[in-house]
Amino acid sequence: MSVDGDAAFERYVLPEVEVMLRVARSLTRNGADAEDLVQDSLIRAYKAIERFDGRHPRAWLLTILRNTHINRNRRRRPELLRDPDTQLERLVQSPEDDEAIRPDRFVDLEFDADVVAAFDSLGEPFRDVIELVDIDGLAYAEAAEVLGIPVGTVMSRLHRGRKKIREQLRRTGAAPTYDDLETGRQR
């Protein structure tokens, strides 16, 4: 790589490493796998930096990251999803400390499990947009570029995905209904 390529890498890529790590963690749900994914993506970006036009570096890098993740998953079988009930049982059977058996810890685990279940119940297009915008903090235009869709589609999927999550949480009792909000009643 030329000196110009090294400078471009430092200018466009290195400032985005933290964002890449956040996105990789949300994709892999594992710290070590996320670091490996980012490293593989950085190698690809380094090799391609001389062809990069300098526009939207975050979107360019996250596209590389997502494609690297897809390619890695094609080569190996994805992990089975962890069962939240198993986590709860493990905490009850062998609490690490007295804090582990606080009742509010179990409520938080249940709520977290409900949120994860609602998120996982979404179709992939909705999950992808919510992950990029709400979890990873990308702007609509950046998410649109990463996914290769118009900004309006990002906004629509984001609205519909959030609405589906709210509805799912209301059905499970994890979120208040409109009636509860109007009357001030809490569950």
Q: Do domains 3-75 and 84-183 have the same CATH topology?
A: no
- Higher-pLDDT residue of 40 and 112 is 40
pLDDT of 110 over the 80 cut? no
On whether the CB atoms of residues 62 and 86 are closer than 8 A, the answer is: no
What pLDDT sits at residue 54? 87
Please write the tens of the pLDDT for every residue from 118-143.
Answer: 888 888 899 889 888 887 778 898 88
For the chain, give every domain's residue range.
3-75, 84-183
The average pLDDT across 153-164 equals 93
Residue 150 pLDDT level (bands cut at 50, 70, 90): very high
The average pLDDT across 7-34 equals 89
- Domain boundaries 84-183, CATH class: mainly alpha
Q: Determine the Cα–Cα distance for residues 118 and 167; give it in Å rounded to an integer.
A: 9
CA 65, 69, 71, 75 torsion-angle sign:
positive
The average pLDDT across 2-22 equals 88
Please write the tens of the pLDDT for every residue from 35-77.
Answer: 999 999 999 999 999 989 888 898 899 889 988 888 887 766 4
Q: Determine the Cα–Cα distance for residues 99 and 102; give it in Å rounded to an integer.
A: 6
Topology (CATH level 3) of domain 3-75 = Rna Polymerase Sigma Factor; Chain: A (1.10.1740)
